Amino acid sequence: MPKHQITTPASLIYIARQQTKRWITIASVTITAGLLLLVLYLFLNPESWVRTASAQTQPITTIHLENFADVSSLTLNGIAAPVEDDDKVVLRLVPSEEPSGGGYKGSAFASNPVPLVIEGHPTSFSTHFQFRISDPGGEGTADGIVFAIAPDPESLGGIGLDIGYGGISPSLGVEFDDWYNVFDPNGNHVGINLNGDMTSVATANPSDDFDNELPWYAWIDFNGETNQLNVYLSSNAARPSSPLLSHTLSTTLVDLMGSDVAYVGFTSATAAGWANHDIRFWHFVAGPKLLDSMIWNAWPECPFCGSTSSVGWVGGPINTRNGNLSYQELDLSIGQSHINLLTP
Ligand SMILES: [Ca+2]
Ligand SMILES: [Ca+2]
């Protein structure tokens, strides 16, 4: 037997060790390559590591801003800015200051567009916000706040009587007007305005003065199937059972905007009279139908949220096309506006 074919226990152990080392090397290289490929895949496909719930996300647009400490989701125009108020950061559309140049104006729109057709249905929406008008100066409280829908998030109309809305065309506006002009019914009214025209197509009078320094609660619902717009107003958080102002548009939102997307937000302005015009919180939800479940304060209790959960209950159930129910959650651990739609 040739020498090199002689095997001893020691040489067998040596061969085994060399074999093991080789396998370890091959395994290490394979695992490293696999991990690199996985990292590369996740980098190239970020949606793959977002929670699976996103795959079930319904075509619902939501905005939930309990305060305005983070305005990264908004497009701010003119003088509009987040401002620390007594108890929270508010969106100050215009400040109570003697303006330079005849008047101040400001607007803020959600930067993400709202589709005006969802799943083949004309979009319906429900929004709820709190505003406060305070610290008047000059000739008196002026000029009001407008909830506006327009095809451009950088929309900003004129100063003074235009309330930052006049001149934005096309557009839909719901004004909370606190200064009398010749085209106004009085110096304290709610109005529905079209295409930047300051002569409202419908108006109504609230129960108290807007500049009473107290927060006002407003709800605006739009039914895309009937084109009916309802405005509710209250000095407390309870949504009134009847709208203060109701008006049916003669066109769809798509026809009005001349677009299948639009932006929602607020405008304001001052001139010879001024005041702080603040939005203190804002919720908005849009969907293919106007459902009770979309309406703030009409939402039922969350059927599965634990009391110790960091997930806040903000809405739902929302009926989806296939009859399943989806639920919205707000991650309280990061504060606000982090929404997932889940199917339990
Ligand atoms: Ca006015
Ligand atoms: Ca008016």
| pLDDT tens figures, 205-237 | 999 999 999 999 999 999 999 999 999 999 988
Give me the pLDDT at residue 28, please.
Answer: 74
The rounded distance, in Å, linking the Cα atoms of 209 and 213 is 9
Q: Is residue 228 in a domain?
A: yes
Whether 291 and 146 map to the same domain: the answer is: yes
pLDDT band at 335 (very low <50, low <70, confident <90, very high): very low
How much distance in Å is there from the Cα of 66 to the middle of ligand 1?
28
Which ligand is closest in space to the CA of residue 184? 2
Tens of pLDDT, residue by residue over 287-309, are 777 766 566 554 444 444 443 33
Whether 71 and 173 map to the same domain: the answer is: yes
How much distance in Å is there from the Cα of 85 to the middle of ligand 2?
27
Share of the chain above pLDDT 70, in %: 71
Q: Is residue 122 in a domain?
A: yes
Give me the pLDDT at residue 29, please.
Answer: 72
CATH number at residue 282: 2.60.120.200
More confident residue, 89 or 118: 89
Whether 171 and 237 map to the same domain: the answer is: yes
Q: Is residue 305 in a domain?
A: no
Q: Is residue 89 in a domain?
A: yes
Q: Is residue 330 in a domain?
A: no
pTM value is 0.74
Task: Provide the residue range defining the domain that includes 22.
Answer: 3-46
Judge residue 34's burial from the number of C-beta atoms within 10 Å of its C-beta, 0-12 exposed, 13-18 middle, 19 or more buried: exposed
How much distance in Å is there from the Cα of 332 to the middle of ligand 2?
39
Question: What is the SS3 assignment for 144-170?
Answer: EEEEEEECCCCCCCCCHHHCCCCCCCC
Whether 38 and 171 map to the same domain: the answer is: no
**With 90 as the cut, is the pLDDT of residue 96 above it?**
yes
Whether 36 and 106 map to the same domain: the answer is: no
Give me the pLDDT at residue 293, please.
Answer: 56
Strand pairing of 172-177 and 189-194? antiparallel
Domain count, the chain: 2
Calculate the alpha carbon distances from 43 to 51, 54, 257 in Å.
15, 18, 38
Mean pLDDT, residues 85-109 taken together: 95
Whether 103 and 198 map to the same domain: the answer is: yes
How much distance in Å is there from the Cα of 267 to the middle of ligand 1?
13
Whether 36 and 68 map to the same domain: the answer is: no
How much distance in Å is there from the Cα of 201 to the middle of ligand 2?
10
Residue 199, Cα to own-chain centre: how many angstroms? 28
Q: Is residue 320 in a domain?
A: no
Give me the pLDDT at residue 7, please.
Answer: 54
Whether 20 and 146 map to the same domain: the answer is: no
How much distance in Å is there from the Cα of 187 to the middle of ligand 1?
6
How much distance in Å is there from the Cα of 330 to the middle of ligand 2?
36
Give me the pLDDT at residue 340, please.
Answer: 43
Whether 32 and 166 map to the same domain: the answer is: no
Whether 95 and 241 map to the same domain: the answer is: yes
Q: Is residue 311 in a domain?
A: no
pLDDT band at 145 (very low <50, low <70, confident <90, very high): very high
How much distance in Å is there from the Cα of 269 to the middle of ligand 2?
13
Give me the pLDDT at residue 185, please.
Answer: 98
Strand (E) or helix (H) holding 107: strand 105-110
**With 60 as the cut, is the pLDDT of residue 252 above it?**
yes
* Contact (Cβ atoms closer than 8 angstroms) between residue 245 and residue 65: no
pLDDT band at 39 (very low <50, low <70, confident <90, very high): low
Q: Is residue 15 in a domain?
A: yes
Task: Please name the amino acid found at residue 145.
Answer: I
How much distance in Å is there from the Cα of 240 to the middle of ligand 2?
23
The rounded distance, in Å, linking the Cα atoms of 28 and 245 is 71
- Mean pLDDT of the chain, nearest integer: 80
**With 90 as the cut, is the pLDDT of residue 272 above it?**
yes
Whether 144 and 10 map to the same domain: the answer is: no
pLDDT band at 49 (very low <50, low <70, confident <90, very high): very low
Give me the pLDDT at residue 60, please.
Answer: 52
Tens of pLDDT, residue by residue over 235-247, are 988 888 899 999 9
Whether 72 and 98 map to the same domain: the answer is: yes
How much distance in Å is there from the Cα of 82 to the middle of ligand 1?
25
